[in-house]
Structure 1
Amino acid sequence: MFTNSEYTDMILLVGETGNGYRASIRWAELYPNRRQPHYQTFDDVVRRSRETGILQPFGHRSGGNRSTLDVRTEETILEQVQNDPETSTRKIGAEININHMSVWKVLNSNKLYPFHRQKVQELLPRDFPLRLNFSREMLSRMTVDTSFLNKILFTDEASFTKDGTINLHNLHHWSEANPHVTRITGSQYKFSVNIWCGIVDNYLVGPFVLPDRLNGQAYLNFLRNNLPNLLEDVPNEIQETMWFMMDGAPPHHTNAVREQLFFMFPEGIIGRQAGNRAHYRPNIVWPPRSPDLTPCDFFLWGYLKEKVYCNEVSSKEELIARIFEACRSINGISDIYEKIRYSMKKRLQLCVQKQGGHIEQYLKTSNSELLL
């Protein structure tokens, strides 16, 4: 249950954002230390206040919602959480023989909330200054040229397999009785495809199916023979000032590939440090192990795989068809490229604040927020 003040804040946020889903995201931004309501709670309180003029759900006793626990029991609950911040309300309830919801209410009344761990890429000590320098350089260029991010062709490759990555927590089957449905996640019949994509300005470039075992010569052939065709829909005025960003994969950094890239993109290259040959040095050095700083990683691949693996994939041809269809669907998302650039700028700023350290645990931006 929530207080009348909290329900009032929910109604105000629904009025500001238009619906409960957007309001729930806005709530997380404004009140990171308050209990996060389900988005349906926002819609329910608006409907309830319109129909009855009452904020609290039926049967809720104002002022009497908190369990009548003695002071010692509450102190025991708080002490256990202090000693083990990763414990659960059910574990505490079982140990002191009370309902776990009573434990939750005690913690909530003391402004204690459960926060999830955030998975992040491992960083080596030498990565921190490289990430910091990269972020500072990018932000500096954006200060001089506010459209700088629009000019960068962010590129990457990702492998899509038969099974992929499936979040079963988000898969449901509504039924009056348990239908005992299953989802195959392991198969002896395996296949995969290696997909290249790029993002520049308001255009998704690709997808393109690369060889499964990519080497320098195959990537060079792609740059010479396929990339120009993929860029046909990108206006000439964008191509003439376009930068090229690539990650640190070895096939991207042979001498022949670097020479071809500098020929195709004279305005600039963002890539791995090139060693002692000045002619092949990137204009901006890309920091290794930094998927949190490139749109393909923090948005594109997650979005595509969520779409591709919503149902089982039976063949390689079907897998490729789903990838292409998912890519086409991106252009139907309102303001998606503007939101991606906003997220990129926010990440660069946060990386500077954290001196090149991990940033994703401080971000509220996710695929779901970008897709609003």
Structure 2
Amino acid sequence: MGLQCMGLETVGVIEKMVQLTTEQRTFVVTTFHQTGSLQRTRDAFRERFPEREPPAAKTIWANVRKYQEHGTSVNRNKENSGRRRTGRSEINIAAVKQQLLEHPRDTSARRNGTGLPSATFNRITRLDLHQHPYRIHIRHQLSPRHFARRLVLAKWLIARCEADVNFLRYLVIGDEADFAIDGKVKTHNVLEHAPTGQSPEFNFDTNMNRQKWTVWLGLCGSGQVIGPFFFQRNVNGNRYLQMINDDVLPQLEENFERQVGGVFKYLWWAQDGAPAHRLTAVRDRLRELFGDRVIALNHAVEWPPRSPDLTPCGYFLWGHLKNKVFVTPPRDLDELQGRIRHEVDALRNDPALVRLAVQGMLRRCELCVERGGGHVEGEGA
């Protein structure tokens, strides 16, 4: 099913890849000298220029070094005389134009198919062909009613973290994702050039009947990983309930203390509103295990719909695992399962990374409030 057919479920969002303006370069250099911190510089940039992503650390360093060496971070040779640049010759311009016509989606500056240096390729596409690279971002489409529900959860979590600095350490948040034999659409590798101001129409087809594993994993704010648990069929409410009782519960009992009545002490459980999660028996079982400390649909604290950008499973876990699992295509389902287990074990051995991912929920909820309930994808954990 192509992305354009997903209606209210998902939409493709096109991001124009742009360079820093002179004002932005000056702001980056000045802020870094004032704070001495890359992260504070990026945070300040995000507040000053909310319409674009903050520059990477290497970009900040490059501008700071240039200022230290030359007294400015601006290219003072632009439009001035100097060594004649031969890269932008008519032959090279024609070669780049032909490459973009024949391979519109698998051509990047580094893998441009012309043999030209990436810098030359970028200059030709930008200055001579007036083309810009665009990347696709997948996100759930939101309406005003979704904004309001996202704001409720975001404000609640912020207040909870202010009242209890250890709140996220006692949070377990789980989710399912499909791992198919033929891999996934790696959107960060999908690049298309288009004229300035004319975003391309992205369309990718997926085979819904492909061989796959459905995998459930849980991340604990204290650093533990629960799972993985595998399903070859769709996850319905009964299978989800059986997984909680037979698989999840024993692992939680290894790491967290339960009260005499059976309810876990301090522990919170969070899940999205997938149909399997809404079964009445599932809801009742979660209340037996966690009392009123459940964040989900049909509970006192609701997890808002269409909000994977607020959960570490959505903004960190699945992308992290799939980038490692699908480095090369797996031969069969057995090999695919083995790779998933291997990468989950590696993540389990890095509790600091798991803690950092869960703690990223607070920053994302703060951004969600700043944006009136809007999307916060693209922000790091």
Q: Is TM more than 0.5 here?
A: yes
**Deviating more after overlay: 313-322 vs 25-34:** 25-34
1:240-259 equivalences under 5 Å are: 240-259=265-284
Q: After the TM superposition, which residues 1-372 of structure 1 pair with which residues of structure 2 at under 5 Å, given as runs?
A: 9=29, 29=43, 31=45, 39=58, 42=61, 63-67=76-80, 101=123, 119-167=138-186, 190-200=210-220, 201-236=222-257, 239-273=264-298, 282-333=299-350, 335-360=352-377, 365-366=379-380, 370=381
Q: Deviations over 1:78-136 (max 9, x none)?
A: xxxxxxxxxxxxxxxxxxxxx9849968xxxxxxx999675432013321111111111
- Aligned in 2, Cα 1:102/1:28: closer, same or farther, shift over 3 Å? farther
CA RMSD of aligned residues (A): 4.5
- 1:270 and 1:286 in contact (8 A); partners too: yes
In the TM superposition, residue 294 of structure 1 has moved relative to its aligned partner by 0.9
- The one-letter amino acid paired with 1:194 is T
* Other structure's SS at 1:156 match: strand
Conserved 8 A contact 1:153-1:199: yes
Identity of aligned residues (%): 27
Paired residue type of 1:231: L
Q: Structure 1: which amino acid aligns with 2:144?
A: P
Other structure's SS at 2:166 match: coil
The answer to whether the Cα contact below 8 Å between 1:271 and 1:284 also exists between their aligned partners in 2 is: yes
CA distance in 2 between counterparts of 1:135 and 1:186 reads 33
- Gaps of at least 5 residues in structure 1 are 18-22, 57-61, 69-98, 106-112, 172-184, 274-281
Equivalent in the alignment of 2:117: none
Q: Is the 8 A contact 2:223 2:351 kept in 1?
A: no
CA shift for structure 1 position 42? 4.9
Letter in structure 2 aligned against 1:247: D
CA distance in 2 between counterparts of 1:100 and 1:207 reads: 43
In 1, the alpha carbon distance for the partners of 2:147 and 2:208 equals 41
| Partner SS state of residue 228, structure 1 | helix
Distance 1:41 1:119, change over 3 A: same
The code of the aligned residue for 1:252 comes to H
Residues 115, 9 of structure 1: alpha-carbon distance in 2 compared, 3 angstrom cutoff = farther
Alignment coverage as a number of residue pairs: 292
8 A contact 2:177–2:214 mirrored in 1: yes
1:144-169 alpha-carbon deviations (Å, 9 max, x no partner):
21211221210111111011215387
Residue 233 of structure 1: how far off its partner (Å) = 3.8
Is the Cα contact below 8 Å between 2:347 and 2:354 reproduced in 1? no
Pair 1:164–1:287, CA change in 2 (3 A): same
Structure 2 residue identity aligned to 1:216: G
TM-score, length basis structure 1: 0.64
Deviations 1:164-198 (A, max 9, x none): 21538759xxxxxxxxxxxxx99999410010110
Shift of 1:26: 7.5
Could you list the per-position Cα deviations for residues 195-246 of structure 1 after superposition, in whole angstroms to 9, with x for gaps in the alignment? 0110112111111113422222111211222212232442327942211111
Give, in whole Å, the separation in 2 of the partners of 1:129 and 1:30. Answer: 27
Q: What SS class does the counterpart of residue 284 from structure 1 fall into?
A: coil
Letter in 2 for 1:138: L
User: CA contact under 8 A between 1:139 and 1:345: conserved in structure 2?
Assistant: yes
Residues 126 and 317 of structure 1: CA distance in aligned 2, closer, same or farther (over 3 Å): same
**Which segment drifts farther, 218-227 or 313-322?**
218-227
CA distance in 2, matches of 1:186, 1:144: 45
- The letter of the residue matching 1:330 is L
Give, in whole Å, the separation in 2 of the partners of 1:350 and 1:211: 37
User: Once the 2 structures are TM-superposed, how far is the Cα of residue 28 of structure 1 from its aligned partner?
Assistant: 5.1
Q: Quick one: distance in 2 between partners of 1:229 and 1:66?
A: 68
Unaligned regions of 5+ residues in structure 2, if any? Answer: 1-18, 82-120, 191-204
Distance in 1, Cα, partners of 2:374 & 2:43: 22
In 2: Cα distance, 1:100 partner to 1:190 partner: 38
CA contact (8 A) 1:241 1:267 kept: no
1:213 and 1:37 map into 2 onto residues whose CA distance is: 40
